[in-house]
Structure 1
Amino acid sequence: MATSALPNELHESHRDPFARPLAIARWLEVVAAFVVVIVLVGGITRLTESGLSITEWNVATGILPPLNDAAWQEEFAKYRATPEYRLEASVGGMTLADFKFIFFWEWFHRLLARLVGVVYAVPLLWFWIKGVIPRGFKPRLVGLLALGGLQGLFGWLMVQSGLVGDMTDVSHFRLSLHLLTALLLLAGLVWTTRDMRRIAREPGVAPAPFTVASVIVAAVLFIQLLLGAWVAGLNAGHAAYDWPLMNGRLIPEIDWSSGFFWTLTHDPFLLHFLHRWWAWIAVIALVWLARRVRKTDRLASILVHSAFGLMVLLGIATVLSGVSLWMAAMHQLTGALLVAATAWAMHSDGVQRQMRQAQ
């Protein structure tokens, strides 16, 4: 095949003798690790029903937890005014010690979000001033910063949805938007890291493109992650504790009386069922992607296989355990790792395509 002019032009456009792509890659890997931890803590926050324990968003003063008994009583009073407390938590006789437990997880989740913002923004500013960012990557790096800010905004909008009317939980739509934005940010960080490491080896090489195959895999995985977020938001994991059957049936009884679209997006039995079985469609797509990159990036192939295999096992274990806190949290953590591995493999698939076009 004749060499295309386009790859050569792109190659020259990204050549920059002052760039420090390896240092940037290492920084982005640290940020990605922080995002994985935030996803884990966010899952624990949801599973412990801690998300509504802090009813305000104070960017500066919210960094510190209450420091004396009077401050704790004030925060507890704010929580007692929420629908969640009035309609649910008060029934069990929540104590101040109980409140401190759920407050910790929400506070820790928000603290990590602030910390990751600093860990991203400060080095970005330093790299920018030093002029070591490879050409063409400044808009992407700023875009990732904006995406992180947007994810934080979605988190607060999610919390607000659980503080109005008779809501005892946050909106599962807003929860999914909050979670999926975090996972998109993670994928973007991993993809950019792979670009940077490649530039470090081959100065001036163009960023990897998307392929049709990788977009298909991403779409299939997106549906599975969306279903998982809705299952979490609606507590639909408790719809059945047996597997592969659901309450002794292969296909659960579904009440369609509220209409097709409402049932599709709200019925916990249907969403639990779909999340279980769409997982196997996702497995097929991920195996396809892993096999596509096996020869040129064996590590990426191994990571994808390992991540989805562990995630399936943890998903089944979560059901059989009656949605054990730590089992469910590990399931969500593995979901984040699967997104990272998939982004890596998608990048490798793009590199393969780029190399074929250049031959």
Structure 2
Amino acid sequence: MQTATLLQLGAIGLLAASLPLAMVWMSADANKYRKLVWVAVFLTFDLIVFGGFTRLTDSGLGCPDWPGCYGLANPFLAHEQISAAEQLMPHGPVTVVKAWIEMIHRYLAMGIGVLIMALMATAWVQWRRTRSQTFAPAIPTALFLFVCVQGAFGAWTVTMKLQPVIVTIHLLLGMGLLALLAWLGGRADYLVKPQAPGGSPAALRRVRTLAIASAALLLVQIALGGWVSTNYATLACSDFPLCNGKLVPEMDFEHGFTLWRELGKTAAGHYLPFSALTAIHWVHRNFALVVVVVLGLTAWRAWPHAALRPTARYVAIVLALQTASGLATIYFSFPLAIAVLHNAGAALLVLLVTMLNYKSKYQLDIALRAPARAPVPAEIHSR
């Protein structure tokens, strides 16, 4: 790729980041760093949702090279090549619309990369100047490294022709980026507005354990959901609660869960049997029951604590909506809008469960540091 194209792409990334950076700079919020963190959270959530839309509209190869489109900075410049590919295969992976969807996704990702570099630079400068815990640079630096790895997997997603394991890891890294930003945002909030302990250490420790378990199970479920999506197994079971009329349908777990293989192929290069797609869908569907139970229990345990109740309430609401959208995807034969909402619900659960983890950890820490009440002398009781 020519140097001019790379410079043009860099300029587009700076342009994409300029508006949110200007909004942060001109905002009335005195804590610009905290504001920048939450703007990055919002845009990363948007990027994940738009990435789901890109995948669900089969636009991942709308531009079959990376980082540009046919070696150029935007689909306008590559219009001739895109149109020629579309004429050869009108319903193929390369069309004008799909090229724009893919490149908008990349532009947004570049803009977020610039925001995270600004976040890291601000953290390091302010940390060296003030040594304030607010600007501790470990997480911002980890975010920068995370973005670099995520960019590499974004490139491999295209160059390896949507290989399912690469696309699934790309999704998981996006969710991990959102979780890290949410954790950083939670820390910024609590450093600005410290809160008093709202429960006993024993009760908060139970909530904390459940919150960690919820995060782990949610990670597995998102990986399974990504595996369903990247293998196009959403409609492998066309009914519910049965799967193709059976409680336990015919399934091929060996081929379904072989990770390193081409899209639609077995490791040996043969076409993937339908029973493998059924296995992928069936596992995701049944593991969802485990996730619903554990996240529901976590929200219930967190509810009595005033500091955790708002987040617990939102977890319960989004969990119910996510379950409904998953069922609707099956009953309505995979409509695009509901599928995108289901992807957005998963990202929102990641955000909320991360916040619940941070808040429960914070509440537990200050509860453990709080001085214990002195025992009442026995002679007072006797009066």
Short-chain TM bin:
0.7 to 0.9
CA distance in 2, matches of 1:145, 1:133: 20
* Contact 2:233–2:281 (Cα < 8 Å) also in 1: yes
Q: Quick check: 1:111 aligned with 2:107?
A: yes
Of the candidates 67, 79, 83, which is equivalent to residue 72 of structure 1? 79
Return closer, same or farther for 1:202/1:226 CA change in 2, 3 Å cut-off. same
Are residues 1:222 and 2:219 paired? yes
Per-residue deviation at 1:107?
A: 0.8
Which residue of the other structure, out of 97, 100, 105, is the alignment partner of 2:96? Answer: 100
* Alpha-carbon distance in 1 for matches of 2:331, 2:318: 20
Q: Which runs of 4+ in 1 moved over 6 A?
A: 59-63
- Give identity over the alignment, percent: 25
Alignment CA distance shift 1:132-1:107 (3 Å): farther
Q: Give the aligned residue type for 1:186.
A: L
Cα deviation for residue 60 of structure 1 reads 11
| Shift, 1:227, TM fit | 0.5
Q: Are 1:273 and 2:272 an aligned pair?
A: no
Are 1:134 and 2:132 matched, yes or no?
A: yes
| Contact map agreement 1:127 1:133 (CA 8 A) in 2 | no
Q: How far 1:123 moved relative to its partner?
A: 4.4
Superposed displacement of residue 127, structure 1:
5.0
Answering whether residue 178 of structure 2 is matched by residue 182 of structure 1, we say no
Q: Which moved more, 1:175-184 or 1:130-139?
A: 130-139
Does 1:146 find its partner at 2:145?
A: yes
Q: Confirm or deny that 1:192 pairs with 2:184.
A: yes
Distance 1:94 1:212, change over 3 A: closer
Output aligned runs, 1:236-255, within 5 Å: 236-255=233-252
Of structures 1 and 2, the one with the larger relative CO (CA 8 A, separation 6+) is 1
Bigger Rg over Cα? 2
Once residues 194 and 355 of structure 1 are traced to their aligned partners in structure 2, the CA distance between those partners, rounded to angstroms, is 15
State the alpha-carbon separation in 1 of the partners of residues 208 and 71 from structure 2. Answer: 43
- Structure 1 window deviating more from structure 2 (185-194 vs 58-67): it is 58-67
CA RMSD of aligned residues (A): 3.2
Give 1:301's aligned residue: 312
Q: For structure 1, list consecutive stretches of 5 or more residues without a partner in the other structure.
A: 1-19, 163-169, 204-208
Q: Matches of 2:185 and 2:57 in 1, distance apart?
A: 33
Q: What TM-score, normalized by structure 1, do the two folds share?
A: 0.79
- Unaligned regions of 5+ residues in structure 2, if any? 1-28, 196-204, 267-275, 371-383
Deviations 1:158-209 (A, max 9, x none): 21111xxxxxxx1111111100111011111111111111111239xxxxx9
* Structure 2 match to 1:16: none
Find out whether 1:33 has 2:33 as its counterpart.
no
Confirm whether residue 155 of structure 1 aligns to residue 154 of structure 2: yes
Aligned residue pair count? 315
Q: Find the aligned partners of 1:52 and 1:260 in 2 and give their Cα distance.
A: 23
- Whether the aligned pair in 2 keeps the contact of 1:190 and 1:343 (CA below 8 Å) is yes
Read off the aligned partner of 2:236 and give its amino acid letter: A
Classify 1:74/1:212 alpha carbon distance in 2 versus 1 (closer, same or farther; 3 Å). Answer: same
Counterparts of 2:352 and 2:163, CA distance in 1: 29
Q: State which drifts further: 119-128 or 282-291.
A: 119-128
Residue deviations 1:97-133 (CA, integer Å, cap 9, x gap) = x811111111111011011112222244245435467
Tell me how far apart the structure 1 counterparts of residues 362 and 74 of structure 2 sit (CA, whole Å). Answer: 47
TM-score, structure 2 normalization = 0.74
